Amino acid sequence: MSEARETIYRLVKEKAVLKQDVYTNTVKTFGELKATLSEAVNDIKTNFANHDNRVDFYYRDRGDFQAEIKIAGDVLVFYMHTNVFQFDKSHSVWRSSYLKENDDNSYVGIINVYNFLADSFKYQRISDMGYLIARIFVNREGHFLVQGKRQLGYLYNDFVNNVLDKEALKSVVDSCVLYTLDFDLYTPPYENLQQVTVEEIQSITSSSSLATGKRMGFRFGLEDPGF
C-alpha cells in the first residue's frame, strides 16, 4: 500500500469512528431531550390546570430528528442535525487544555432550537418566520455548549466542565422556554406593510397567510445580540 493510501486509510478509520461516536452520543442526547421536553410540558400543564382553558400546551415527537413543544402562543422546534461538525479554529474553546490535549473533543453534534408563533402552524401560514434562538453543541463525552440569545448565550458556555445530563437538559429547556415567553411579537414597521398584492390579500381570507413573525421587518440579529 502506498504512503498516500495508508494515510487515507488511517484518516478514514480514525475520523469515521470518531464521528460515529459523536453521532451516537448526539442521538442518545436527543432522545433524553425528548423525554425532558415531554416531562416539562406535562409539569407545566399540571401546574396550570384549569387556570384558563384558552391556553394550551403540547409535546409532539416529529420523528428521529425533530420534536416540538407548544407553550401558550409559541412553538419551540428542536431539530437535531444529522452531521458532525468541528469547532472553528477561531472559537474560544480552543484555548482550553481540554481541546489542546485532544482535538477529538472538538467534534460535536448540533441540536438547533427554533421559535415560531403557534398560529403559524395552526393557520398554515407557510411564509411566517421562525427564529433560531439556540444551538446546543455536544461532543462524544457529553460535554456541551449552548450558543444563543441573551441568557442562553452565557449560562452554558463552559464547554470544559459542562456535561449534558438530565439536570442540565432540564435547565436548558427551561431557559429556552423563559426566553421564548419574554420574546414578544412586535408590531412591524408601517413601511413594510404599505403594499400588498391581490393574491396576498385574497389568501388572508382563506388561510391567514400574510407573513408574520415576532420581529418581521426588524434586523433580528442586531436587535437582539447573542450569536
pLDDT recorded at residue 227:
42
Q: How many independent structural domains does the chain possess? A: 1
Which ranges of the chain would DSSP assign to H, the alpha helix?
3-48, 97-100, 118-122, 166-182, 198-207, 220-223
At residue 154, what is the residue type?
Y
13-42: per-residue pLDDT in tens?
888 999 999 999 999 999 999 999 999 999
Rounded to whole angstroms, how far apart are CA atoms 178 and 180?
5
N residues, the chain = 227
Residue 164: which of 18, 36, 19 has the closest Cα? 36
C-alpha 13 chain-centroid distance: 31
Give the domain extent around 137.
3-223
108-135: per-residue pLDDT in tens?
999 999 999 998 888 888 878 888 999 9
178-191: per-residue pLDDT in tens?
999 887 655 556 56
Tell me: pLDDT of 87 over 80: yes
**pTM of the full structure:** 0.82
Of the given ranges (142-156, 169-183, 184-198), which has the lowest mean pLDDT? Answer: 184-198
pLDDT recorded at residue 60:
97
- Contact present, 76 and 114 (Cβ < 8 Å): yes
Tell me: pLDDT of 92 over 90: yes
- Residue 226 binned pLDDT confidence (cut-offs 50, 70, 90): very low
Average pLDDT across the chain, whole number? 85
